[in-house]
C-alpha cells in the first residue's frame, strides 16, 4: 500500500496567498532548556495557511462554520484528475473529459503542484467549471492552489460550490500523485467557529472499503 502526504509543510517563509506577510505563520519558542525543564513552542497562523478546508462561512454570511462539515465527508474514496495541461481557469470543457459522478470527491492536479513559490497567475477553477461540478452533485473538490479561484468578481466559484453543499479544499501538493482513484483521509484541525481550518491530507493507493 502506497501513501501520499499531499499537505503543505507549515514553516516560516513558506508559500502564502499573494505573498502577504500577514499570512506568514510565526513559530516561536515559549521556553527552552536554558530556563525550564522542557521545551515548548507556539504557532501563530492564518486558518487559511497551507493545506486547508474552507467552510461556507468563508464566503456566505449565513454559511456554516467548520463544525458544519462532518468528518465522514473528508474520509473516503476520491479521484485525482490530471489537469496539468490547463493554463488559466479550469472550465466545464476541461472537466467534461472526465467521468464526474454524483457524490464523488475530486482533487484537481494542475501546474500549481510543480511550483514552490506563489504564482499570481495560478491555475484555478473557473465559474463555469464550478457550475458543472455543482450540477453533478459532487461531495467535494480540492485544488493544488492556495485559492480555488482568482480574479473573479464576487467570488462565484466559492459561492456556487458552497450553495451546492460542495466541500472546498485548497493548498494540496499533488506533484508526485498519478491520476487515479485513492482513499483519502483529510483531517482539519478541530476548530468549531471558524470559516476554515488547516488540514493534514493523506491519500492511500489500493485501499478499498
pLDDT tens string 144-168: 999 999 988 999 999 999 999 999 9
Residues 140 and 100 sit within 8 Å (Cβ to Cβ):
no
Task: Give me the pLDDT at residue 21, please.
Answer: 95
Helix (H) or strand (E) segment spanning residue 198: strand 196-205
Task: Give me the pLDDT at residue 209, please.
Answer: 66
pLDDT, tens digit (0-9, with 9 covering 90-100), for 98-117 = 999 999 999 999 999 999 99
52: annotated active-site residue: no
Q: What is the mean pLDDT of the chain?
A: 96
Instruction: List alpha helices for the chain, DSSP H.
Output: 92-95, 127-135, 156-163
Give the percent of the chain with pLDDT over 90. 95
Label residue 1 by pLDDT band (50, 70, 90): confident
**What predicted TM-score, i.e. pTM, was given to this entire model?**
0.95
Look-up of cell digits 482539519: 188
Task: Give me the pLDDT at residue 151, please.
Answer: 85
Nearest to 147 by CA among 83, 89, 102: 89
Q: Residue 40: is its pLDDT beyond 80?
A: yes
Q: Residue 176: is its pLDDT beyond 70?
A: yes
Nearest to 192 by CA among 47, 22, 61: 47
Task: Give me the pLDDT at residue 206, please.
Answer: 83
Annotated catalytic residue, options 48, 58, 155, 158:
58
Amino acid at each position: 500500500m502506497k501513501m501520499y502526504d499531499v499537505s503543505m509543510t507549515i514553516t516560516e517563509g513558506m508559500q502564502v496567498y499573494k505573498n502577504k506577510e500577514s499570512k506568514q505563520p510565526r513559530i516561536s519558542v515559549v521556553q527552552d532548556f536554558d530556563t525550564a525543564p522542557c521545551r515548548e513552542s507556539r504557532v501563530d497562523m492564518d486558518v487559511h495557511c497551507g493545506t486547508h478546508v474552507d467552510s461556507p462561512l468563508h464566503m456566505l454570511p449565513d454559511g456554516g462554520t467548520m463544525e458544519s462539515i462532518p468528518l465522514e465527508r473528508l474520509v473516503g474514496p476520491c479521484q485525482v484528475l490530471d489537469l496539468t495541461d490547463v493554463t488559466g481557469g479550469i472550465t466545464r470543457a476541461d472537466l467534461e473529459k472526465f467521468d464526474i459522478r454524483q457524490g464523488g470527491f475530486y482533487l484537481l492536479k494542475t501546474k500549481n503542484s510543480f511550483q514552490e513559490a506563489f504564482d499570481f497567475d495560478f491555475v484555478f477553477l473557473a465559474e463555469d467549471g464550478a457550475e458543472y461540478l455543482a450540477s453533478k452533485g459532487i461531495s467535494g473538490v480540492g485544488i493544488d492552489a492556495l485559492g480555488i479561484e482568482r480574479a473573479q468578481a464576487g467570488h462565484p466559484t466559492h459561492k456556487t460550490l458552497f450553495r451546492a453543499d460542495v466541500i472546498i479544499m485548497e493548498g494540496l501538493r499533488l506533484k508526485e500523485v498519478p491520476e487515479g482513484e485513492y482513499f483519502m483521509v483529510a483531517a482539519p484541525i478541530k476548530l468549531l467557529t471558524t470559516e476554515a481550518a488547516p488540514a493534514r491530507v493523506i491519500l492511500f493507493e489500493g485501499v478499498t472499503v
